Structure 1
Amino acid sequence: MTGLWAGSRILAASVAPVTIPLSDDLLAHGFAEGDEACLNEAYRRWGALLFTIASRKLGDPEEAKDVTQQVFVGAWRGRKNFDSERGSLKTWLVGITHKKIADALERRSRHMRDQRAVAAFAVPDDGTDRTGTADTVVDHIVVMDELDQLPAPQQTVLRMAFFEDLSQAQIAERTGMPLGTVKSHTRRGMMRLKHRLEVDSEAR
């Protein structure tokens, strides 16, 4: 595929058109067989559509561009999985687009959850400039590592609080624990995590 991709980027907008217009069926067949001209034509026909779908779902044009590129890269590499009897090439590409969008949203959600979890245990302000401490990779690793070492009930309570945004009352209802027990596990778990971050910060 030399000349088609530059790094992870897909074709530039200036794609050479196929000389003889192809039907969608012939285009799909050529694509599945590895005809690069058919890849070019598929991008020309449906690239804008897939970008529009991604842009509307993600609300970010740059992220939508990345998703569109990922769709065509993934489709080309997995072209042997395309089955014309199950649908058209266009439908297949749209399906891949929705999966890539879901992956992007999950990454975004996971990143936000991790940031909230780290920020929740940031070292209190003692007059020292600690700008960005809560977002450092080290703090994130420390928190996640220490969370994994907590007793199971404390892990459960804190993960539900920070990763699922549940209140203590909701956690009690979900787990069947008494509300007082949930509060106790939360307090003990947070004290242990905050202590670990404070110790780690002093050691730097």
Structure 2
Amino acid sequence: MTAFHDDSALSLAFCSGDERALSDAYERWAPLVHTLALRSLGSTADAEDVTQQVFISAWRGRATFDSDRGALGSWLVGITRRRIADALEARSRTQRVHDASAHAAITASHVVDGDLVDRLVLADELARLEEVPRQVMTLAFYGEFTHSEIADTTGLPLGTVKSHIRRSLSRLRTRLEVNDAS
């Protein structure tokens, strides 16, 4: 049972930080938000994530809500549309990274020159890196992507790509030196 029967009272309480208003807003509009997300994303898990993100964003940004410009429900739908777009972009970015990594791995498997043992040791060491640095290094080593191309493909800032490469090379160098010593 909702505590606020009037939308304007709910909007005012929501903006003032009344947690009961958040609960009522969720009860009223979460089904709509979830339905919009589910229809756009096609995944129940993604729709649930978007629904949660919408209400977290709305609560954190409640000071920016202006009831003179529209109803609280309309404002939440606007946030929903942006969160859906963010989810679709993240999905697209993940697919681009996956495709580029697969292409780089295929390219690497066709490399004939060089010592096989060195390539296997390098591949093993790359596999030990965390996911994002491993993807960056795979694109750099096997795909022969430039830093800018890696940034474009992954959606990471150029400086972040360079930092991942620098730290990863340092880790690889240390690990390979230890392996050579043994």
Q: Under TM normalisation by the shorter chain, which class is it?
A: 0.5 to 0.7
Which residue of the other structure, out of 140, 145, 148, is the alignment partner of 2:146? 148
TM-score scaled to structure 1, two decimals? 0.58
State the shift of 1:25 in Å: 1.0
**Structure 2 portions without partners, runs of 5+:** 111-115, 155-171
* Residue 88 (structure 1) aligned with residue 71 (structure 2): yes
State the shift of 1:22 in Å: 2.0
State the shift of 1:121 in Å: 1.2
Residue pairs, 1:41-190, within 5 angstroms: 41-122=24-105, 123-124=108-109, 137-145=132-140, 146-149=144-147
The answer as to whether partners of 1:27 and 1:38 remain within 8 angstroms in 2 is yes
Percent pairwise identity: 42
Q: Which amino acid aligns with 2:137?
A: V
Q: Which amino acid aligns with 1:65?
A: E
**Structure 1 portions without partners, runs of 5+:** 1-16, 164-199
Aligned residues: 139
**Counterpart in 1 of 2:2?**
18
The answer as to whether partners of 2:104 and 2:139 remain within 8 angstroms in 1 is no
CA–CA separation in structure 2 for the residues paired with 1:137 and 1:79? 34
TM-score scaled to structure 2, two decimals? 0.65
Give the direction of change, closer, same or farther, for the CA distance of 1:60–1:149 in structure 2 (3 Å limit): closer
Q: Which amino acid aligns with 1:117?
A: A
Which residue of the other structure, out of 20, 28, 42, is the alignment partner of 2:11? 28
Q: Which amino acid aligns with 2:42?
A: G
Give the direction of change, closer, same or farther, for the CA distance of 1:159–1:76 in structure 2 (3 Å limit): closer
Greater helix share, structure number: 2
The answer as to whether partners of 1:118 and 1:139 remain within 8 angstroms in 2 is no
State the shift of 1:101 in Å: 0.2
Spell out, residue by residue over 1:145-194, the C-alpha distance to the aligned partner (whole angstroms, 9 max, x if none). 452258xxxx5xx999x79xxxxxxxxxxxxxxxxxxxxxxxxxxxxxxx
CA–CA separation in structure 2 for the residues paired with 1:100 and 1:137? 23
> What secondary structure is seen at the aligned counterpart in 2 of 1:85?
coil
Q: Which amino acid aligns with 1:35?
A: D
**Counterpart in 1 of 2:20?**
37
CA–CA separation in structure 1 for the residues paired with 2:15 and 2:49? 23
Q: Which amino acid aligns with 1:141?
A: V
Q: Which amino acid aligns with 1:124?
A: S
The answer as to whether partners of 2:33 and 2:80 remain within 8 angstroms in 1 is yes
